[in-house]
Amino acid sequence: MPRPASDRTNRGDTVAETFADLIAAEDVLLFVNAAVTATGQREFRSEAHAQRLSLDFLHEYVCVNYRPLYAATLALDINDHNAARIIETLLRGAGEASAEEKRVEGRLIARRLAVLPPQRVYRLFRALRAARVNNRRTRAILRDWLAARPDLGHDAVKYRRGLKTAARHAHLSLGAGTKGTPGEVGDFLFAPGRRTKYLHPLLDAHRRAHFERGALYELPFTVAEGFAARRGVGREALVERMVPRMTRLERLRTQGSTGVRTDLTVMPPTRLALYVLSLPVDERVRRRAELTKALRAAARRTAGPYRGTWGRVAAVLDDSYSSSGSGEKRRRPLGTALACHYLLESLAAPGAYTAWWTSGTTDPLLVRPWGPTPLGTRILDALEHAPERLVIVSDGWDNAPPGLAGEVLRVWRSRLDREGRTSVVHLNPVYDTDGFDVRRLAPSVPTAGIRDAEDLPALVEIAQFAEGRTGMAELREYLDRRVELFVDDDPFCYFPGEPVRVPDGPTQEERR
């Protein structure tokens, strides 16, 4: 008996809606992969202008079609470049959002600005001014972020141009001052000749540094570098006296040329891995114990409560020539793979981790980018050990021979492991401009973009959504949970325009 027309129509509508949800989920996941990996810079196989054009399209497409989900990606582990781009896009199109969307977006923007590096935020404010975005919500967000800064005097010295531009754009006089220095920040920026002395120590040190050599050692290191160059102060002498005032990254950046040592065990894993790869091979051999200890300590700290909980883990790690990256992202893919190696070692059960580098090396500390990418062969080697998890970190360009990795994974999943005893995830550190996504190895293997190894546990979780069987409802639920955790994680998160809530205890800078 034929089904009634109304039933056929309803069934067709349901199928169409389900298919539309899957397409929407794929679009959002595609954007998340791009927001994690792409920075608008040149890669090994793509130029910077192609990256920017590809990102421009994705941001506009996802914002127009899925604005709430577009805003929700601020709660994910995306890179700073795309986080700032999302905030700028949302503020530019404020008139297209409903009141409820604006409320949620405001909380997300405030929280994300609180964790972005200050220089990135000031650059965002300059972009908003250049784009003539100066609506009431933008001014409120800008004003409240500045009000939450722990020391505007420090910002006035270190980020002078950015703070000056932000104050002009939001029509702020900065007359209230900070820490008992009423009006000094405003005078320092807009009327530097008005005062002969400042109560704020950094503002006064900057004034005295123009005619007193000793005052430059009281300034932030990046500011002191400029004064030292004009006054003929040698770099080694400057660094030697500035060590107590330098940040960890500044000490790391200068220790190669000046001999200054920093505690490597407190560095983030990816940053530390990139530093290790920048060292000559003979120095890595000489400092093997120190570097290995630091990499494992960083990995254990990042693994946290998940340490030793992943069971038997095998990793296939790409150290082929393409992992050298580009002039703008030198050795970035290889650095990510090296940091992932030590993090996976920490996540695996004790003694249950094996790593397979595409070059065949067995010494991760001495890896270098060279040779082809025989991913298929290395995946076969890894699967022989029947791991519970197989994690592949590669740009996806399997070329020795081409396509073998995808065929191995297809046969493994369809013929040899239909029960799914081995969980396989591909993490790709390189954005593919032609595909508007990261390059995949096989349709049956979930793929996620990765930039920093410290995001690996969260990215493995979100990669499960990329298998093509998850609809929009599940993805929305996941994003809602991440948004809730993200905005409630910091008491400095507030609604733009509301009074800033400053809790007792350490400041944001101290907590970082």
Flag the least confident range among 127-131, 226-230, 245-249. Answer: 245-249
- Residue 19: predicted pLDDT: 64
- Residue 96: predicted pLDDT: 85
- Average pLDDT over every residue of 216-241: 88
- The whole-angstrom separation of Cα 296 and Cα 288 is 12
238 vs 345: which has the higher pLDDT: 345
Residue that has been written with the tokens 């030198």 in this structure: 330
16 vs 377: which has the higher pLDDT: 377
CATH-assigned architecture of domain 269-470: 3-Layer(aba) Sandwich (3.40)
Read off φ and ψ for residue 106, nearest 5 degrees. Answer: -60, -40
Helix intervals (H) in 177-313 = 184-190, 201-208, 221-231, 235-242, 248-258, 269-278, 281-286, 288-303
Please give the share of the chain, as a percent, with pLDDT higher than 70: 88
Contact 460, 425 (CB under 8 A): yes
407 vs 464: which has the higher pLDDT: 407
Beta bridge partners of 356: 316
pLDDT band at 232 (very low <50, low <70, confident <90, very high): confident
pLDDT band at 181 (very low <50, low <70, confident <90, very high): low
Q: Is the pLDDT of residue 86 over 90?
A: yes
pLDDT band at 308 (very low <50, low <70, confident <90, very high): very high
The H-or-E segment that residue 285 falls in is helix 281-286
Give the distance from CA 220 to its chain's centroid.
25
- The whole-angstrom separation of Cα 163 and Cα 202 is 15
- Average pLDDT over every residue of 216-232: 89
Q: Is the pLDDT of residue 465 over 60?
A: yes
Q: Is the pLDDT of residue 7 over 50?
A: no
Nearest-Å Rg of the Cα atoms of the chain is: 26
The H-or-E segment that residue 72 falls in is helix 67-72
Extract the tokens encoding 240.
């030697």
- Residue 38: predicted pLDDT: 93
pLDDT band at 252 (very low <50, low <70, confident <90, very high): confident
Beta bridge partners of 357: 317
Q: Is the pLDDT of residue 327 over 90?
A: no
pLDDT band at 494 (very low <50, low <70, confident <90, very high): very low
- Residue 70: predicted pLDDT: 95
Q: Is the pLDDT of residue 176 over 70?
A: no
- The whole-angstrom separation of Cα 68 and Cα 101 is 7
- Residue 16: predicted pLDDT: 45
Q: Is the pLDDT of residue 167 over 50?
A: yes
Q: Which of 94, 128, 97, 131 is nearest to 113 (CA)?
A: 128
- Residue 18: predicted pLDDT: 66
Contact 179, 156 (CB under 8 A): no
**Average confidence score pLDDT of the chain:** 85
pLDDT band at 128 (very low <50, low <70, confident <90, very high): very high
pLDDT band at 172 (very low <50, low <70, confident <90, very high): confident
Beta bridge partners of 178: 181
Domain ranges of the chain: 209-262, 269-470
DSSP E strands in 345-385: the ranges are 353-357
pLDDT band at 203 (very low <50, low <70, confident <90, very high): very high
Contact 125, 165 (CB under 8 A): yes
Flag the least confident range among 246-250, 309-313, 328-332. Answer: 246-250
- The whole-angstrom separation of Cα 312 and Cα 286 is 32
217 vs 254: which has the higher pLDDT: 217
Contact 487, 111 (CB under 8 A): yes
- Residue 390: predicted pLDDT: 95
> For residue 10, what are the CA distances in angstroms to 2, 7, 17, 43?
15, 5, 10, 48
- Average pLDDT over every residue of 62-69: 93
Q: Is the pLDDT of residue 122 over 60?
A: yes
Q: Is the pLDDT of residue 14 over 50?
A: no
Contact 356, 315 (CB under 8 A): yes
Q: Which DSSP category does 333 fall into?
A: H
- Residue 505: predicted pLDDT: 37
- Average pLDDT over every residue of 449-463: 88
Extract the tokens encoding 15.
């199928």
Give per-residue pLDDT as tens, 211-223.
998 899 999 998 9
- Residue 107: predicted pLDDT: 93
The angle that helices 80-92 and 118-130 make with each other, rounded to 10 degrees, is 30
- Residue 248: predicted pLDDT: 82
- Residue 258: predicted pLDDT: 60
Q: Is the pLDDT of residue 466 over 90?
A: no
Extract the tokens encoding 251.
């000490």
Flag the least confident range among 249-263, 287-301, 444-458, 473-487. Answer: 249-263
- Please enumerate in sequence order all residues whose Cβ is within 8 A of that of 238, keeping only pairs 6 or more positions apart, or say none: 216, 217, 224, 225, 228
- Residue 262: predicted pLDDT: 75
